[in-house]
Amino acid sequence: MSDQKGTDSKGFDRSRRTFLRASALGVAGTALAACAPDDQEARRPETTEGEGVHDHDRTAPESDEPWREMDRSHREGVEAFPAETEGVPMQPLEPRLVDGVKEFELTCGRRDWEVEPGRITEAWCYNGQMPGPVIRVTEGDRLRVIVHNDLHQSTAVHWHHQHVPNEMDGVPFITQPPIEPGQSFTYEFTADPYGSHMYHSHYNAAEQVTKGLLGPLIVDPLDPSVEPEYDDEWIIVLNDAAHGYTINGKGFPATQPKVVRRGTRLRIRFMNEGLMVHPMHLHGMPMHVFAKDGRPLPQPFESDTLNIVPGERWDAMVDCSALGTWVFHCHILSHAEGPHGMFGMVTALVVEE
């Protein structure tokens, strides 16, 4: 990163762009490439020039030694990151404003989902996304969410931690009839309290939620001064059953990094929609944890590894002061790295000049 030769106005090294695949996250890839050790980069195949791949290691007589094969598969995973895959999670969902009510529409359905390059699973989605779209409102807003069920099973939607009227709580046979296949149901409530929240199925949940019927519900406070100021945010949704260990519906190397400028105050919103605990560990910079389940902590604390239990949300602030590509992963290591390299719950925070 210290070599400024050949950099453009954004500070990226143009000569290294050629190592990138065309990708919506080319910026992140550039940052990653720029942080790769030079010897590793020198061996990287020149993807834009066609056939010419010259890689000493792969053709050397000793290339069948097990440790070389292990190094090769580790390196390939890192070089593929961030991999482009089919299926984009967590797009912002725009409401219609109807007589002062913010009206959203969610359709439950099944689709093929590329968790990692070439690994396709069947996801059960809201609006074709896993996790589902980001519903974002302000504390005190009136919401109406019309849910259509195009699944082959009944379903219902629970608004996790929202103070809803009982009949809006989304639990079949307790607060409402199930939303049968082909039917719709309309939820209506006032957004309260503020914070990082979630919505998810509350019917056959071990299957429906882990297959993808979940999404972030962000309620911004009416008075922003009740939360710390931040420049950028990163929602991290963890899941661990039907599709393997995933961050925002993807496993490494298809997880997406967060790329920020040095000095950014980055808010991370952790959510666990899986069946297991996941201690998330950020390299390089501490996390200042200031809220649990959307509520401010009486005593914020500093952490490098934050345990996220199923159903929990945690909010942490990172002062992105340290340049580089910092790995960010679950520290139950069998969720993150094995003999073939990193997989599952691994991503990166990339801090650029």
Contact flag: residue 332 with Cu ion (CB under 5 A): yes
Q: Report which of 295, 288, 285 is spatially closest to residue 348, judged by C-alpha positions.
A: 285
Residue from 32, 330, 348, 350 touching Cu ion (CB under 5 A): that is 330
Contact flag: residue 211 with Cu ion (CB under 5 A): no
Choice between 195 and 251, CB closer to Cu ion: 251
Q: Which residues of 182-216 are buried (b: 16+ CB within 10 A; e: fewer)?
A: eeebebebebeebbbbbbbbbbbbeebbbbbbbbb
Phi, psi (rounded to 5 degrees) for 308: -115, 115
From CA 219, how far away is CA 225, in angstroms rounded? 14
Q: CA separation (Å) from 181 to 153, 212, 238? A: 6, 17, 27
- Which region, judged by CB under 5 A, interacts with Cu ion, from 36-44, 54-62, 172-180, 326-334? 326-334
- Which region, judged by CB under 5 A, interacts with Cu ion, from 123-131, 145-153, 305-313, 329-337? 329-337
Choice between 63 and 305, CB closer to Cu ion: 305
How many residues bind Cu ion (CB under 5 A)? The answer is 4
Residue from 28, 124, 335, 346 touching Cu ion (CB under 5 A): that is 335
From CA 165, how far away is CA 186, in angstroms rounded? 13
Q: How far is the CB of 135 from Cu ion (least distance, A)?
A: 26
- Which region, judged by CB under 5 A, interacts with Cu ion, from 47-55, 221-229, 266-274, 328-336? 328-336
CB-based contact 313:292 (threshold 8 Å):
yes
- Which region, judged by CB under 5 A, interacts with Cu ion, from 28-36, 228-236, 254-262, 323-331? 323-331
Choice between 257 and 274, CB closer to Cu ion: 274
Contact flag: residue 278 with Cu ion (CB under 5 A): yes
CB-based contact 131:164 (threshold 8 Å):
no
Choice between 20 and 332, CB closer to Cu ion: 332
From CA 309, how far away is CA 303, in angstroms rounded? 16
User: Which residues form the interface with Cu ion (CB under 5 A)?
Assistant: 278, 330, 332, 335
